[in-house]
Chains A and B, each alone.
Chain A
Amino acid sequence: MPDGRHEPEQAIAGTGMGGTMDLGVDEAEALEKRPGGGGGPGPEGKPRSLWSDAWRDLRRNPVFIVFALVILFLVFISLWPSAITSGSPLTCDLSRAQEGSRSGHPFGFDGQGCDVYTRTVYGARTSVAVGVLATLGVAVLGSVLGALAGFFGGVGDSVLSRITDVFFAIPVVLGGLVLLSVITSNTVWPVIGFIVLLGWPQLSRIARGSVITAKQNDYVQAARALGASNSRLLLRHIAPNAVAPVIVVATIALGTYIALEATLSYLGVGLKPPSVSWGIDISAASPYIRNAPHALLWPSGALAITVLAFIMLGDAVRDALDPKLR
């Protein structure tokens, strides 16, 4: 089940092995030349930071460019679906149920006689909203808690670790069935809230792991010795180094959250009408797989491409950020 918990990176960060711990190498160099020491180097001599390196890599990576364009397109149609459709996703005529494609209706009609093309376009908004907002929520909540726990350690850290264990131990689909089945709101917020609730421990673990790793770097010790405050240490020195793995995992998780919404709809606890989402359409079309495969194919395809785009993007970002793989 693509539900965001299967994260290779989590495993890496969790064991302290693998690429993420080496991210601070260039940063140590940057520290020495930090502003405050006067004029500093001019634009040409600007030190190559991890980020600018990564950005340069990404700009030349065709995979990144293609999938970034796909995502831009998705965002565009999420904001202005009417730009490429003329109909309404709620206009359905039962007399055309399950009909195939025809002029003006390139994807055909679903079991209720709604236009599949229009619904697929409008579905992007909900699905992208669920993916992006849930990921934002998970990333913010998870990384703040994880970073604090990793930085300060002690009792708070132990408690947080145990809490994350608790959440990890509960199967996600099960949690969704139980919690979402009681909610009657027909907005996207319960689904987003649910994903944030069960998703944050994963990010907090990763953030914690990379903060602990970054904390031990010489430049952090140096800054501490120079009398930097905790907040300054955390925000200026540690966070920039620790944020990379969080971004990587978050982009990959984003794709899986979109797929999770579809699974929840399949089990009858996802979004509710009149919401239009790929998950709703896929689950509604799945029993009709033999008679109207097109009604299943298009939203599934759109979902797969979106998930793929975000995962590839995350992958490209990770590769760019990981000097070991250069």
Chain B
Amino acid sequence: MGRYVVRRLLQMIPVFIGATLLIFLMVNVMGDPIAGLCGERQCDPATAARLEQEFGLDEPVWQQYLTYMGNVFTGDFGTAFNGQEVTELMATAFPVTIRLTLIAILFEIVIGVTLGVVTGLRRGSPVDTGVLLLTLVVISVPTFVTGLLLQLLLGVKWGWIRPSVSSEAPFDELILPGLVLASVSLAYVTRLTRTSIAENRRSDYVRTAVAKGLPRHRVVVRHLLRNSLIPVVTFIGADIGFLMGGAIVTERIFNIHGVGYQLYQGILRQNTQTVVGFVTVLVLVFLVANLIVDLLYAVLDPRIRYA
């Protein structure tokens, strides 16, 4: 177990370097950000040169990358164009997005797994077909359409909720955005659980458990569900990173000032420091979440042992 974790941690290093380098290059491809800073006017050459120097843009890309990574390891993520430290931006953005992600994941687990179990146990029933169709519709309509529609109906027409989220972004205001963000993943979790439950329902250990005369709920929860959750857990684990970074559309619709908003703003202004900084943290979150998921397998399935 210990060796396995160490090996996994070592594997993270090249992935981390690769991902940050890739995003660094991508943002650099976007071109010179200075021109956008002077409004509808050409920056005077002297100021432009000064600005380039200040943001380190006058050096070759590889050197910028090395300097940047060197700074990151000392906790310095650079400064955004508006003079704010990127770490400061992170300190305000990440708590909001973490709350949003928690709500989204909660929806995935509670609604997704429940629906999955129900439909999996009743394959072919009207309930199954209904839920199946619903999940497919959710998958096939783009998030921004769902989001705008729900915002208009719940926020304006019926006045049940605030159509946007205040800057403090408390949990209760994040419920609808969380649901919109989770919707697609929710549909996947449902389908995944359903398939997995349907498969395992016929396995020997379930038959044995039933034959032993165990009560039905115990069979479902202790035996069937526990084994069926492995693919679901994998999916949710990988989803954490995506939910946090992929909330660009949701955060924009509901005016949430989280990670997605900062990334969007950073991209519009071609602010390398902000974009790379946030993505770096997201990459770490993604890698750690994956590791935790893999370790969870051993808990869920005693047959799996890590050496």
* B100-122 vs A, Cβ < 8 Å mask (1 yes, 0 no): 00000000000000000000000
Cβ contact within 8 Å between A6 and B235: yes
B199 CB-CB contact with A under 8 Å: yes
User: For residue A159, which residue of chain B has the nearest CB?
Assistant: B14
For B136, the chain A residues whose CB sits under 8 A away are 308, 311-312
B23 CB-CB contact with A under 8 Å: yes
B131 CB-CB contact with A under 8 Å: no
B144 CB-CB contact with A under 8 Å: yes
User: CA A117 – CA B238 in complex, angstroms?
Assistant: 40
For A312, the chain B residues whose CB sits under 8 A away are 136
B149 CB-CB contact with A under 8 Å: yes
Mark the stretch among A50-58, A132-140, A255-263 that contacts chain B.
A255-263
Cβ contact within 8 Å between A308 and B137: yes
A307-B26 CB under 8 A given contacts A15-B234, A162-B18? no
Interface size class of A (residues with CB under 8 A): 35 or more
User: CA A181 – CA B267 in complex, angstroms?
Assistant: 9
How many whole Å from A291's CB to the nearest CB in chain B? 12
User: CA A8 – CA B116 in complex, angstroms?
Assistant: 13
B15 CB-CB contact with A under 8 Å: yes
For residues 125 through 141 of chain B, which have their beta carbon under 8 Å from a beta carbon of chain A?
136-137, 139-141
A-B contact count (CB 8 A): 171
A169 CB-CB contact with B under 8 Å: yes
User: CA A6 – CA B19 in complex, angstroms?
Assistant: 20
Cβ contact within 8 Å between B140 and A290: no
How many whole Å from B242's CB to the nearest CB in chain A? 6
User: CA A167 – CA B239 in complex, angstroms?
Assistant: 14
For residues 163 through 198 of chain B, which have their beta carbon under 8 Å from a beta carbon of chain A?
184-185, 188, 191-192, 195-196, 198
Cβ contact within 8 Å between A173 and B199: no
B242 contact from A15, A171, A305, Cβ within 8 A: A171
B140 contact from A3, A7, A179, A307, Cβ within 8 A: A307
B66 CB-CB contact with A under 8 Å: no
A225 CB-CB contact with B under 8 Å: no
Cβ contact within 8 Å between B139 and A311: yes
For residues 135 through 193 of chain A, which have their beta carbon under 8 Å from a beta carbon of chain B?
162-163, 165-175, 177-179, 181-182
B5 CB-CB contact with A under 8 Å: no
Mark the stretch among B41-49, B78-86, B280-288 that contacts chain A.
B280-288
Cβ contact within 8 Å between A17 and B230: yes
How many whole Å from B168's CB to the nearest CB in chain A? 25
Interface size class of B (residues with CB under 8 A): 35 or more
User: CA A127 – CA B241 in complex, angstroms?
Assistant: 28
How many whole Å from B125's CB to the nearest CB in chain A? 15
Cβ contact within 8 Å between A14 and B234: yes
Name the residue in A14, A165, A171, A177 with the highest tally of chain B Cβ atoms < 10 Å from its Cβ: A171
* A2-29 vs B, Cβ < 8 Å mask (1 yes, 0 no): 1101111001101101110000000000
User: CA A172 – CA B242 in complex, angstroms?
Assistant: 8
A173-B137 CB under 8 A given contacts A6-B235, A12-B231, A168-B238? no
Mark the stretch among B52-60, B67-75, B215-223, B244-252 that contacts chain A.
B244-252
Q: Which 4 A-B pairs have the closest CB atoms?
A: A171-B245, A307-B140, A8-B192, A166-B18
Residues on B facing A (Cβ under 8 Å)? 11, 14-15, 18-19, 22-23, 26-27, 29-31, 136-137, 139-145, 148-149, 152, 184-185, 188, 191-192, 195-196, 198-199, 202, 230-232, 234-235, 238-239, 241-242, 245-246, 248-249, 263-264, 267, 275, 279, 282-283, 286-287, 297
25 A-B pairs, CB-CB below 8 angstroms? A1-B184, A1-B249, A6-B184, A8-B188, A8-B231, A15-B230, A18-B231, A165-B18, A168-B286, A170-B245, A172-B246, A174-B245, A174-B248, A174-B263, A174-B279, A178-B29, A182-B30, A259-B140, A286-B144, A286-B145, A286-B148, A300-B142, A307-B139, A311-B139, A325-B199
